[in-house]
């Protein structure tokens, strides 16, 4: 799929005339990245050409035009999460936002507090930031998750100490799509005077977020997960009660000193427009995606046995299905559905052969984790694409099960765990 | 990403299936582990002349693992046990142009051949070997 | 609307058509370079291709280029890799070096009146440091355009065991830059100064050297910089780097800049052109003339349709004398009236004429009361 053929409506499926086959390959990896919405690209383009100024040049028209674009975008982002535009800091992406939020708070408050709470299923960049802080002498508590992928609020409550500076819990998990109870977490944090940061890269624009109602103090946003461009993100930083941060990147003092560097005007504008579109269309889009997602799941489970959904069935975004296809290895399966672009585990680590740490944290057995695929659907996914995906996925699983010694054993009633497997 | 030969063996695997374990002349090798993401079952059927007259496999694993075992069944056919035992993982890896991260697939295929031969010899008694 | 003529290329340059084409194409594709499927591999190809071009521009090897969100991040990343070495930077560095350097308690090397770093003083600081140092000196100054003796500094510093970083942001695409000839360990580049997009830059390594990441997670950029690659912007950076490599315009631009300075001299007003006796970038002139503040001049010229700047863009809007001119030993009044004209490939002789005409009007208008905003605006 190549999106953004100028004349193409965003939701139109490209079809080969006369055949009921969607344009191939089909992109089903919307948690890895999303296509930039053609409407977003269109808004960005003038800022590449006639409005190319440096938004920090405050003494001429080129600079003012760029600045106006950036500030409009800031307001659009703020509006989507019910924040004030002064509370939005542009960054290069959610990874930087997460690094800045966690390291920034930890460093600023280190004289008084030295404890951080997060979960074992966070994105790598949150876990890596926490590990880095541990090396510096901070203490980190990694909360477990329940079998459904959600944290236990009582466990969180008990983990908070007078030394806790920040709780960082993601809003929506990138691999399994489950939504954490943000409002409840926010309430607990506020009662205990602990800052609450949430990595909302997979949540913003997909579920309603209200930073005040949810008592969120810091929130990370990614451009390319919400149909905006790559290379841009934002960090919401609450002003009342005020959150203070030590900057990661120093220099010209842009973004109120929190983040120096020339702002990439077209990218900022693109993120703003992506947020504005999401704010308008999120409700209807969620309904449409739920229908598609149900169709996908039903299509698979109607035709295949021993298929398991990972993560809570209710508390999840409609765009994500993480499924274990017992006795079929995920990478081998991906090769059998080469017209479907899906992911086995998260994109950042799928080049490695280790099974997903997120699935392991849910208590999914290693052998079952090896059989899992993440199917991500989104704004440009069509019913026709879903039907094609179901058909080909089912075919591939049936074929590979015929070739699988584990499936053969399972059919013969042999318990795979009873076998002494050799290490290799 | 995958070589043409891997794709060919993945899409048109040779000798998928199995023999009855207790069938005469059959040796079965089961190697790997589900927790490691690959399991190979390779079976050989040895004829009266001591040559492997047929082979079958089933594999749980990635495309390279499937291709390695498929290729292994092709290569062992027509060979004596001693000849089949000399098949090296490096030859499989080279033939399939496996990338470094997939070398373990070829190692597993070599192990599967050896395990099947060992099983056959154990079943038929060491007399067989002594006679040769 | 007509935004007038643009002579502020050291703040940012317009996007080159080739960069726009590459970005527009890349923006219309989906794919995370870390994904192994076809879409991911296509995204990866954009990044790999750009890395080759960026690398070639400074004579490095591809694996030694780390993409960042821009020059500021690249400078911070370099300084973050100093590993407890005593830090020495020059007094005229960009804020993205100076600020983190001050936080780290750096020693500051002086510059001479011509805007060149005082190598003897830097040498003295190296001796005083007590341990092998980390030195950061820019290749060309953003305000004066003065080209620094970086190869000499690297030679002197490395003989004393120092690690050397060079912020080459303003030099790239304007003069030939070769990381090996400079002999530096780390080199900063920014895309938007060479007609690439804003929001991307690179830290280039002179060899297999460590990088201590600022932004962690995900393992991208060989674990030197986490975060999904900014594919479209990187593609644009690559295209711009390819175009910038030829330096095709440099003699034409030099001639325009020299013409501008001649015409300024011809006005007969007292005129100081900073760093004129030193080697300078072809496109940059920084000067002070008369008693008007830089801010007044910049605003008056903007109203006359000419976009220039006082000092660097990052500190524009904050009224304070240029730290660069002050470091060169000029008094506060002179430093406070310095303005910078920086040219690029879209400028032609007509723009110089228009600048001079506007300059004349602005100077005549303000003779009575130089800092009266109302008279300034009505006259302009």
Q: What is the pLDDT of residues C35-58, one digit of tens each?
A: 888 899 999 999 999 999 999 999
A-chain CB neighbours of C27 within 8 Å are 4, 36, 41, 44, 229
Looking at the DSSP bridge assignments, the partners of residue C202 are: C67, C189
Mind listing the domains of chain A with CATH numbers? 11-36+282-402 (3.90.1150.10), 40-277 (3.40.640.10)
Chains in touch with A (≥3 Cβ pairs < 8 A): B, C
Q: How confident is the model at residue A364 (pLDDT cuts 50, 70, 90)?
A: very high
Catalytic residues of C: 314
C-chain CB neighbours of A342 within 8 Å are 37
Distance (Å) from the C-alpha of residue B21 to the closest C-alpha of chain A? Answer: 13
Q: How confident is the model at residue C367 (pLDDT cuts 50, 70, 90)?
A: low
pLDDT at B130: 42
A424 to B63: CB separation less than 8 angstroms, yes or no: no
Put the strands of the sheet holding B26-33 in their side by side order: B26-33, B38-46, B52-60
B38 to A329: CB separation less than 8 angstroms, yes or no: yes
pLDDT at B62 over 60: yes
Interface of A with C in 203-262 (CB under 8 A): 222, 224, 229-232, 248-254, 260-262
pLDDT at A1: 43
Q: Which of A238-252, A358-372, C169-183, C317-331 has the lowest mean pLDDT?
A: C317-331
pLDDT at A353: 60
Sequence-separated (6 or more) residues with CB below 8 Å from residue C276: C114, C261
Q: How far apart are CA A376 and CA A176, in angstroms?
A: 10
Where do the structural domains in chain B lie, given as residue ranges?
4-123
Active-site residue A36, yes or no?
A: no
pLDDT at C29: 87
A-chain CB neighbours of C313 within 8 Å are 54, 56-57, 63, 252, 262
CATH, range B4-123: 3.90.1010.10
Instruction: Show the DSSP H helices in C58-106 as ranges.
Output: 71-80, 95-103
Q: Which two tokens stand for residue A225?
A: 């997960």
Q: Which two tokens stand for residue B58?
A: 């089933």
Distance (Å) from the C-alpha of residue A335 to the closest C-alpha of chain B? Answer: 7
Question: Residues C72, A249: contact at Cβ < 8 Å?
Answer: yes
Q: How far apart are CA A350 and CA A327, in angstroms?
A: 19
Closest residue to A250, CB basis, from C39, C103, C315:
C103
Distance (Å) from the C-alpha of residue C96 to the closest C-alpha of chain A? Answer: 3
Looking at the DSSP bridge assignments, the partners of residue A22 are: A15
Question: Residues A362, A311: contact at Cβ < 8 Å?
Answer: yes
Q: Which of A127-131, B110-114, C306-310 has the lowest mean pLDDT?
A: C306-310
A-chain CB neighbours of B39 within 8 Å are 405-406, 421
- % of chain C exceeding 90 in pLDDT: 78
Q: How many CB atoms lie within 10 A of CB C331?
A: 10
Q: Tell me if residue A49 falls in helix, strand or coil.
A: coil
Beta strands in A191-310 (DSSP E): 195-199, 218-222, 233-237, 307-309
pLDDT at A423 over 70: no
- Its sign, for the CA torsion A49, A51, A53, A56, is negative
Testing the interface with C: which of A252, A259, A338 to mutate, by most C Cβ within 10 A? A252
B35 to A370: CB separation less than 8 angstroms, yes or no: yes
Q: How far apart are CA A9 and CA C66, in angstroms?
A: 37
Give the DSSP per-residue string, C121-184.
HHHHHHHHTSS--EEE--SB-TTT-BBP-HHHHHHHHHHTT-EEEEE-TTTTTTS---HHHHT-
| Chain B nearest-CA residue for A327 | B60
Q: Closest Cα partner for C148 from C190, C89, C204?
A: C89
Q: Is pLDDT larger for residue A119 or for residue C371? A: A119
Closest residue to A251, CB basis, from C68, C95, C317:
C95
Chains in touch with B (≥3 Cβ pairs < 8 A): A
Question: Residues A143, A150: contact at Cβ < 8 Å?
Answer: no
pLDDT at C376 over 50: no
Distance (Å) from the C-alpha of residue A207 to the closest C-alpha of chain C? Answer: 22
Mean pLDDT on B39-62? 95
Active-site entry in B31, B72, B87, B105: B105
pLDDT at B34 over 70: yes
Q: Which two tokens stand for residue A195?
A: 């800052």
pLDDT at C2: 59
Q: Is pLDDT larger for residue C294 or for residue A404? A: A404
pLDDT at A54: 85
A405 to B60: CB separation less than 8 angstroms, yes or no: yes
Closest residue to B33, CB basis, from A355, A408, A421:
A421
pLDDT at C129: 95
Question: Residues A374, A322: contact at Cβ < 8 Å?
Answer: yes
On whether ipTM exceeds 0.85, the answer is yes
> How many beta-carbon contacts under 8 Å exist across A and B?
78
Q: How far apart are CA A163 and CA A155, in angstroms?
A: 17
- Judged by a CB distance cut-off of 8 A, whether residue A329 touches chain B is yes
- Tens of pLDDT along C100-156? 999 999 999 999 999 999 999 999 999 999 999 999 999 999 999 999 999 999 999
Put the strands of the sheet holding C284-289 in their side by side order: C271-273, C284-289, C339-342
A-chain CB neighbours of B35 within 8 Å are 365-367, 370, 421
Q: Cα separations (Å) of C59 from A215, B110, C16, C177? A: 51, 46, 22, 8
A251 to C27: CB separation less than 8 angstroms, yes or no: no
C226 to A124: CB separation less than 8 angstroms, yes or no: yes
Name the pTM for this structure. 0.90
Q: For chain C, give the longest Cα–Cα distance.
A: 70
Question: Residues C314, A252: contact at Cβ < 8 Å?
Answer: yes
Q: How many CB atoms lie within 10 A of CB C159?
A: 10
B35 to A402: CB separation less than 8 angstroms, yes or no: no
Active-site residue B105, yes or no?
A: yes
Sequence-separated (6 or more) residues with CB below 8 Å from residue B67: B5, B6, B8, B9, B10, B13, B96, B105
pLDDT at A169 over 90: yes
Sequence-separated (6 or more) residues with CB below 8 Å from residue A284: none
Mean pLDDT on A285-303? 98
Active-site entry in B36, B47, B74, B99: B36
Q: Closest Cα partner for A160 from A107, A208, A115?
A: A115
pLDDT at C315 over 80: no
Q: How far apart are CA A127 and CA A133, in angstroms?
A: 10
Q: How far apart are CA C182 and CA C189, in angstroms?
A: 14
pLDDT at C365: 77
Question: Residues C233, C191: contact at Cβ < 8 Å?
Answer: yes
Closest residue to A41, CB basis, from C28, C103, C295:
C28
- Its sign, for the CA torsion A159, A165, A170, A171, is positive
Q: How far apart are CA C68 and CA C65, in angstroms?
A: 10
Q: Which residues of B77-114 are buried (b: 16+ CB within 10 A; e: fewer)?
A: bebebeebeebebeebbebbebeeebbbbbbbbbbbbb
Q: Which two tokens stand for residue C83?
A: 């590993």
C73 alpha-carbon distance from chain centroid: 13
pLDDT at A352: 52
Give the DSSP per-residue string, A296-315.
HHHHHHHH-SSEEE-S-SSS
Question: Residues A209, A219: contact at Cβ < 8 Å?
Answer: yes
Question: Residues C204, C64: contact at Cβ < 8 Å?
Answer: yes
Q: Closest Cα partner for C326 from C10, C91, C119, C54?
A: C91
Closest residue to C72, CB basis, from A33, A35, A261:
A261
A-chain CB neighbours of C230 within 8 Å are 92-93, 229-232, 267
Q: Look up tokens 């969120």; give the residue.
A: A216
Q: How confident is the model at residue C311 (pLDDT cuts 50, 70, 90)?
A: low
Chains in touch with C (≥3 Cβ pairs < 8 A): A
Q: How far apart are CA C356 and CA A247, in angstroms?
A: 42
Q: Which two tokens stand for residue A411?
A: 């059919």
C-chain CB neighbours of A252 within 8 Å are 72, 94-96, 312-315
Question: Residues C286, C275: contact at Cβ < 8 Å?
Answer: yes
Using alpha carbons only, give the angle A135, A232, A38 rounded to the nearest 5 degrees: 150
Question: Residues A289, A1: contact at Cβ < 8 Å?
Answer: no
- % of chain A exceeding 70 in pLDDT: 93
Q: How far apart are CA C56 and CA C65, in angstroms?
A: 10
Using alpha carbons only, give the angle C225, C226, C228 rounded to the nearest 5 degrees: 120
B39 to A406: CB separation less than 8 angstroms, yes or no: yes
C35 to A32: CB separation less than 8 angstroms, yes or no: yes
pLDDT at C319 over 60: no
């Amino acid at each position: 799929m190549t999106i953004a053929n100028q004349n193409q409506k965003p939701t139109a499926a490209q079809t080969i005339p006369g055949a009921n086959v969607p344009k191939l390959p089909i992109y089903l990896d919307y948690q890895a990245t999303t296509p930039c919405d053609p409407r977003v690209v269109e808004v960005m383009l003038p800022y590449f050409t006639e409005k190319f100024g440096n938004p920090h040049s405050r003494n001429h028209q080129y600079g003012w035009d760029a600045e106006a674009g950036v500030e409009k975008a800031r307001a659009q982002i703020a509006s989507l999460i019910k924040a004030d535009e002064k509370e939005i800091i542009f960054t290069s992406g959610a990874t930087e936002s997460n690094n800045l939020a966690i390291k920034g708070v930890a460093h600023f408050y280190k004289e008084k507090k030295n404890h951080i709470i997060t979960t074992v299923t966070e994105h790598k960049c949150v876990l890596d930031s926490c590990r880095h802080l541990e090396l510096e002498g901070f203490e980190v508590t990694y909360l477990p998750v329940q079998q459904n992928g959600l944290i236990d609020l009582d466990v969180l409550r008990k983990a908070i100490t007078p030394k806790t500076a920040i709780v960082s819990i993601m809003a929506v998990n990138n691999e399994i799509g489950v939504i954490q109870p943000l409002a409840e977490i926010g309430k607990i944090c506020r009662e205990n005077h602990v800052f609450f940061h949430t990595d909302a890269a997979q949540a913003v624009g997909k579920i309603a977020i209200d930073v005040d109602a949810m008592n969120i103090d810091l929130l990370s946003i990614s451009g390319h997960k919400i149909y905006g461009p790559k290379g841009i993100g934002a960090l919401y930083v609450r002003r009342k009660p005020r959150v203070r941060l030590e900057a990661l990147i120093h220099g010209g003092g842009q973004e109120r000193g929190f983040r120096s560097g020339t702002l990439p005007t077209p990218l900022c504008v693109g993120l703003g427009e992506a947020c504005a579109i999401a704010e308008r269309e999120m409700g209807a889009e969620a309904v449409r995606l739920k229908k598609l997602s149900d169709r996908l799941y039903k299509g698979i489970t109607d035709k295949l046995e021993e298929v398991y959904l990972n993560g809570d069935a209710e508390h999840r975004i409609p765009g994500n299905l993480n499924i274990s296809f017992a006795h079929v290895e995920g990478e081998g399966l991906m090769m059998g559905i080469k017209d479907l672009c899906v992911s086995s585990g998260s994109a950042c680590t799928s080049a490695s052969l280790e099974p997903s740490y997120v699935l392991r944290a849910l208590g999914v057995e290693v052998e079952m984790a090896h059989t899992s695929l993440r199917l991500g659907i989104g704004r440009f996914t069509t019913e026709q694409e879903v039907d094609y995906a179901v058909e080909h996925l089912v075919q591939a699983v049936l074929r590979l099960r015929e070739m699988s010694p584990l499936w053969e054993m399972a059919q013969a009633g042999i318990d795979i765990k009873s076998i002494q497997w050799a290490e290799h | 990403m995958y070589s043409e030969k891997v794709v060919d063996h993945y899409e048109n695997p040779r000798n998928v299936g199995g023999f009855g374990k207790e069938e005469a002349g059959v040796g079965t090798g089961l190697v790997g582990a589900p927790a490691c993401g690959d399991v190979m079952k390779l079976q050989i059927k040895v004829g009266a002349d001591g040559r492997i007259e047929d082979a079958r496999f089933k594999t749980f694993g990635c495309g390279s693992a499937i291709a390695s075992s498929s290729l292994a069944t092709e290569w062992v056919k027509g060979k004596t046990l001693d000849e089949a035992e000399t098949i090296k993982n490096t030859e499989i890896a080279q033939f399939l142009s496996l990338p470094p991260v997939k070398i373990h697939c070829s190692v597993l295929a070599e192990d599967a051949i050896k395990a099947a031969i060992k099983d056959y010899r154990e079943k038929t008694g060491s007399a067989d070997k002594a006679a040769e | 609307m007509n935004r007038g003529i643009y002579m502020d290329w050291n703040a940012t340059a317009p996007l080159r058509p080739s960069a726009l084409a590459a970005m527009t194409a890349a923006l219309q594709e989906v794919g995370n370079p870390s994904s192994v499927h076809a879409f991911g591999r296509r995204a990866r190809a954009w990044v790999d291709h750009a890395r080759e071009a960026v690398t070639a521009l400074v004579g490095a090897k591809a694996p030694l280029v780390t993409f960042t969100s821009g020059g500021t991040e690249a400078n911070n990343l370099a300084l973050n890799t100093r590993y407890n070495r005593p830090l020495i930077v020059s007094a005229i560095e960009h804020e993205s070096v100076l600020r983190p350097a001050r936080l780290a308690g750096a020693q500051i090397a002086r510059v001479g009146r011509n805007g060149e770093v005082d190598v003897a003083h830097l040498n003295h600081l190296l001796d005083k440091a007590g341990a092998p140092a980390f030195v950061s000196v820019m290749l060309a100054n953003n305000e004066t355009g003065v080209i620094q003796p970086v190869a000499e500094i690297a030679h002197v510093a490395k003989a004393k065991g120092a690690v050397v970083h060079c912020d080459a942001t303003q030099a790239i695409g304007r003069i030939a830059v070769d990381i090996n000839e400079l002999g530096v360990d780390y080199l900063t580049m920014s895309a938007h100064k060479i007609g690439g997009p804003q929001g991307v830059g690179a830290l280039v390594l002179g060899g297999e050297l460590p990088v201590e990441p600022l932004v962690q997670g995900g393992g991208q950029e060989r674990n030197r910089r986490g975060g999904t690659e900014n594919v479209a912007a990187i593609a644009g950076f690559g295209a711009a780097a390819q175009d910038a490599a030829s330096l095709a315009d440099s003699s034409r631009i030099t001639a325009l800049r020299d013409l501008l300075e001649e015409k300024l001299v011809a006005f007969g007003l007292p005129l100081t052109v900073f760093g004129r006796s030193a080697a300078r970038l072809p496109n940059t002139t920084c000067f002070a003339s008369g008693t008007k503040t830089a801010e007044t001049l910049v605003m008056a010229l903007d109203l006359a349709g000419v976009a220039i700047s006082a000092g660097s863009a990052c500190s524009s809007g904050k009224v304070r004398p240029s730290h660069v001119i002050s470091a060169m030993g000029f008094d506060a009044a002179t430093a406070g009236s310095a303005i910078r004209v920086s040219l690029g490939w879209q400028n032609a002789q007509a723009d110089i004429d228009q600048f001079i005409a506007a300059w004349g009007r602005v100077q005549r208008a303000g003779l009575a009361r130089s800092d009266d905003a109302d008279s300034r605006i009505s006259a302009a």
